[in-house]
Amino acid sequence: MRIKNIFAAVLLAGICTSASAQFATQTSASAPTATNTPSEGWSSFYVQYNPSTFAADKGDDFDFKGFSVGFNKAFGISQSSPLFLEVGAALQYSWYSESDDYYYEDYYDYYEFEVEEKVNLFTLKVPVNLTYVFNLPNSNISIAPYAGINLRYNLSGKWNLSCDDADIDEDFDVFDKDDMEDDDFTWNRFQMGWQIGVNVNFHKAYLGLSYGGDFTKTVKYMDGLTGSGKDYKMKTTSITLGYKF
């Protein structure tokens, strides 16, 4: 049963979202300038703003907003170039919210309601990136473009449908087949995607911008009160503020 049908049933029961530069790896006393990128790597904490599009291959898209808090660790993987492998973990909270008019008609009556639809996701992310660092000469500024994959595990997800007119407030677990009524409408907990981005390091602080998308789909069909579609994947822009140590 689709969400529309589920909500219709609930209604009737209730009422009837990178400068070309030089990288210095000198560790001897003769090095002309200091570098803010240790050749052995670094650790960092960061926060992110994550506006996302839950994009359908066919149908309606949904705009999510989100925030993340995470930790990364970078390891030097080359003796001759400033190339690093950076891995980490982050927790992300994302949400979507929209209100719309909903119409329902049975054999005897016609109903019109103001309905609010919300989706809330709590996700564990594991990014794995290759990062190349360009240090700007005679400064504490460096530019670090990167690319890699992103593994995500959705810890929880709730779809809420509410209607004050009918005194209804119902929650559905998007990862529960019993709540979603069908495998095609049940969301997948594990996803894998890609990302590309760049960080600008100012001594120990850094700002970053990245974009990425999913290889695997989140759900085959999504049929809500404010839109529907097929084969949904998440596309995400991330704005990062972090501190390296």
Beta strand 134-135 with 168-173: parallel, antiparallel or unpaired? unpaired
Res 6: pLDDT:
56
**Residues shown for the chain:** 245
Q: Which of 17-31, 50-64, 89-103, 149-163 has the lowest mean pLDDT?
A: 17-31
**61: helix, strand or coil:** coil
With beta carbons less than 8 A apart as the criterion, state whether 222 and 232 touch.
yes
- For residues 166-182, give the mean pLDDT: 91
Question: pTM for the complete prediction?
Answer: 0.80
b or e along 141-150 (b: 16 or more beta carbons within 10 Å of the residue's beta carbon)?
bbbbbbebeb
Residue predicted with more confidence, 72 or 111? 72
Res 225: pLDDT:
75
DSSP class of 82: -
- Six-digit token string for 114: 């103001």
- Residue 217's Cβ-side half-sphere holds a number of Cα atoms within 13 Å equal to 15
Res 113: pLDDT:
75
With beta carbons less than 8 A apart as the criterion, state whether 65 and 50 touch.
yes
Q: Which of 20-29, 124-133, 140-149 has the lowest mean pLDDT?
A: 20-29
* Domains, the chain, ordered by start: 3-16+41-244 (2.40.160.20)
